[in-house]
C-alpha cells in the first residue's frame, strides 16, 4: 500500500478534536522539592527557581501532569478506541517522535494544576525507516484555575514494524560498549583472559576499568590476569523483558529467562557483573563459588566473546 489518505485514515481522522482526557488534576501542587530535584538533575542553578518569589522552570510543565504508575482519572474511551483501531490494522508498535510546549503563565509553588487532553490530529499513512503507520498528535492544555498556563503537544508514530529490519535486529546480540578506557579489558576477553587493571604506583587493583586510580590518582596502570575463581557476592534474577537476541542465541538454555545476573567477587578482590550459569536461576545464592568461562556468540556481525561465571560447587 502506498502513503497518503486511505480508508483507515478516514476512520482515524474522525477522532480529531475528541477529548482523550478531561478534568484531570495534577497529583501534587507545584512545589519547591520537585523544583529543586529537577534543577539538580538538569544542573540549572538559575536563582529564579529558589526563594520566596520562586517560579518553576517552564520546561517542568509536563512534570506537574504526569500520572505515574497509577495514572489519572479522566481518561476517555476515545483515545483507547483510536489505538485499538491502529492495533487491529497491524500498527502494533509505538514510538514517541517529538513534543512541543508553549508557556503562557509562570507556575509557582502552591499552584494547583488541572489539564485536559485532546486528540489534535492524525496524519495520513506514512512510511518511515521504522515502518508504515500514522502520526497521532495530542495536545494537553494545562491550567491554574481558569488561566491557561501552557500547552504540551505530544506526537507518536503508531506503526507496523518493517519485517526485514526487525529480523536483522533480532539476530544481533547487543555488544558491550567498548571505549578507550576499557578497550584493554575486552581485548583480553577476546583472547580468553580476564584482565584486572592495576595502579603502577600504589598497586591497587580496580574493575571496571578507569583512566586513573581511585586510591592515589595515578594515571599509570598495568594489568594482572585474574585466576578466574570467584564467589557470588550478590545477584539479581532477570524476569523481564525477554530479549529476542538472547533467547535465539546459541546459549539459549541459560539465557531464555529468567536468568541470574551476579556481582562476582574475584579471588583477587575486585567485583564484576556477569551471568551466573550452570545451575537453575533459583539455585543461585550469595557465596556460591564460581569460575570464569568464555562464551562465543556468533552472528552476522562476527564473533562476540563474553565472560560468564559457572558455579563450581559440587565439583571434585
Kindly give the pairing relationship between strand 302-311 and strand 271-277. parallel
Site for Zn ion in 108-167 (CB under 5 A): none
215 part of the interface to Zn ion, by CB under 5 A: yes
Question: How far is Cα 178 from Cα 135, in angstroms, rounded to an integer?
Answer: 36
Name which of 50 and 201 has its Cβ closer to Zn ion: 201
Contact stretch for Zn ion (CB under 5 A) within 18-26, 49-57, 162-170, 211-219: 211-219
List the one residue from 23, 48, 168, 218 that touches Zn ion (CB under 5 A): 218
Is 226 one of the binding residues for Zn ion (CB under 5 A)?
Answer: no
- Report the C-alpha gap between 136 and 126 in whole angstroms: 12
Select 74 or 212, whichever has its Cβ closest to Zn ion: 212
Using the contact rule CB under 5 A, the part of the chain among 2-10, 71-79, 213-221, 254-262 near Zn ion is: 213-221
Instruction: Rank residues 213 and 264 by Cβ distance to Zn ion and give the closer one.
Output: 213
Residue 224 contacts Zn ion per CB under 5 A: no
**Is the bond preceding 123 in cis, omega lying within 30 degrees of 0?**
no
Minimum CB distance to Zn ion, residue 263 (Å):
23
23 is a site residue for Zn ion (CB under 5 A): no
| Closer to Zn ion by Cβ: residue 66 or 202 | 202
Q: Restricting to residues 190-209, name those near Zn ion by CB under 5 A.
A: 199, 201-202, 204
Q: Is 115 exposed, middle or buried (0-12, 13-18, 19+ CB in 10 A)?
A: buried
- Please, which residues have CB within 8 angstroms of residue 77's CB and are 6 or more apart in sequence? none
* Contact window for Zn ion (CB under 5 A) among 76-84, 88-96, 169-177, 215-223: 215-223
Ordered alpha helix ranges (H), 160-237: 163-171, 183-190
Q: Is 216 in the site for Zn ion (CB under 5 A)?
A: yes
The one segment of 30-38, 159-167, 218-226, 238-246 that binds Zn ion by CB under 5 A: 218-226
β-strand pairing of 221-225 with 131-144: unpaired
Task: Kindly state the smallest distance separating residue 210's Cβ from Zn ion, in Å.
Answer: 11
Stretch of 28-36, 104-112, 214-222, 263-271 lying at the interface with Zn ion (CB under 5 A): 214-222
**CB of residue 227 vs Zn ion: minimum separation in angstroms?**
22
Looking at the Cβ atoms of 100 and 222, the one nearer to Zn ion is 222
Contacts of 187 (CB under 8 A, 6+ apart): none
Find the shortest distance in angstroms from Cβ 273 to Zn ion: 23
Nearest approach in angstroms of CB 164 to Zn ion is 51
Alpha carbon separation from 292 to 39, 247, 266, 295 (Å, rounded): 44, 22, 9, 10
Sign of CA dihedral 231, 233, 237, 242: negative
C-alpha span between 285 and 314 (Å, rounded)? 14
Task: Evaluate whether 59 touches 41 at the Cβ level (below 8 Å).
Answer: no
Question: Least separation, in Å, of the C-beta of 86 and Zn ion?
Answer: 58
Closest CA to 176 of 284, 259, 275, 257: 275
With a CB cutoff of 8 Å and minimum separation 6, the contacts of 36 are 49, 50
Query: Judged by CB, which is closer to Zn ion: 153, or 206?
Result: 206
Cell 513534543 sits at which residue? 99
Smallest separation, CB 205 to Zn ion (Å): 10
| Contacts with Zn ion, residue ranges (CB under 5 A) | 199, 201-202, 204, 213, 215-216, 218
Amino acid at each position: 500500500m502506498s502513503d497518503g489518505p486511505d480508508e483507515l485514515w478516514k476512520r482515524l481522522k474522525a477522532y480529531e478534536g475528541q477529548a482523550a482526557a478531561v478534568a484531570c488534576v495534577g497529583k501534587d501542587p507545584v512545589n519547591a522539592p520537585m523544583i529543586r530535584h529537577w534543577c539538580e538533575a538538569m544542573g540549572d542553578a538559575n536563582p529564579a527557581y529558589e526563594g520566596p518569589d520562586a517560579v518553576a522552570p517552564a520546561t517542568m510543565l509536563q512534570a506537574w501532569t504526569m500520572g505515574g504508575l497509577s495514572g489519572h482519572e479522566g481518561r476517555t474511551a476515545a483515545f483507547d478506541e483510536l489505538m485499538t483501531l491502529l492495533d487491529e490494522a497491524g500498527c502494533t508498535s509505538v514510538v514517541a517522535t517529538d513534543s512541543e510546549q508553549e508557556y503562557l503563565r509562570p507556575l509557582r509553588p502552591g499552584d494547583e494544576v488541572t489539564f485536559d487532553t485532546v486528540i489534535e490530529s492524525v496524519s495520513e499513512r506514512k512510511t518511515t525507516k521504522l515502518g508504515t503507520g500514522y502520526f497521532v498528535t495530542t495536545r494537553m492544555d494545562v491550567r491554574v484555575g481558569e488561566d491557561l498556563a501552557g500547552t504540551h503537544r505530544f506526537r507518536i508514530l503508531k506503526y507496523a514494524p518493517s519485517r526485514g529490519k526487525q529480523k536483522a535486529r533480532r539476530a544481533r546480540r547487543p555488544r558491550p560498549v567498548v571505549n578507550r578506557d576499557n578497550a584493554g579489558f575486552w581485548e583480553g576477553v577476546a583472547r580468553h583472559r580476564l584482565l584486572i587493571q592495576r595502579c603502577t604506583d600504589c598497586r591497587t587493583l580496580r574493575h571496571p576499568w578507569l583512566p586513573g586510580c581511585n586510591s592515589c590518582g595515578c594515571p599509570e596502570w598495568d594489568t594482572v590476569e585474574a585466576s578466574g575463581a570467584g564467589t557470588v557476592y550478590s545477584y539479581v534474577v532477570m524476569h523481564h523483558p525477554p530479549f529476542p537476541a538472547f533467547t535465539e542465541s546459541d546459549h539459549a538454555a541459560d539465557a531464555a529467562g529468567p536468568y541470574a545476573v551476579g556481582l562476582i567477587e574475584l579471588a583477587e578482590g575486585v567485583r564484576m557483573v556477569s551471568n551466573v550459569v550452570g545451575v537453575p536461576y533459583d539455585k543461585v545464592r550469595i557465596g556460591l563459588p564460581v569460575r570464569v568461562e568464555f562464551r562465543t556468540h556468533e552472528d552476522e556481525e562476527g564473533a562476540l566473546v563474553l565472560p560468564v561465571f559457572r558455579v563450581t560447587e559440587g565439583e571434585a
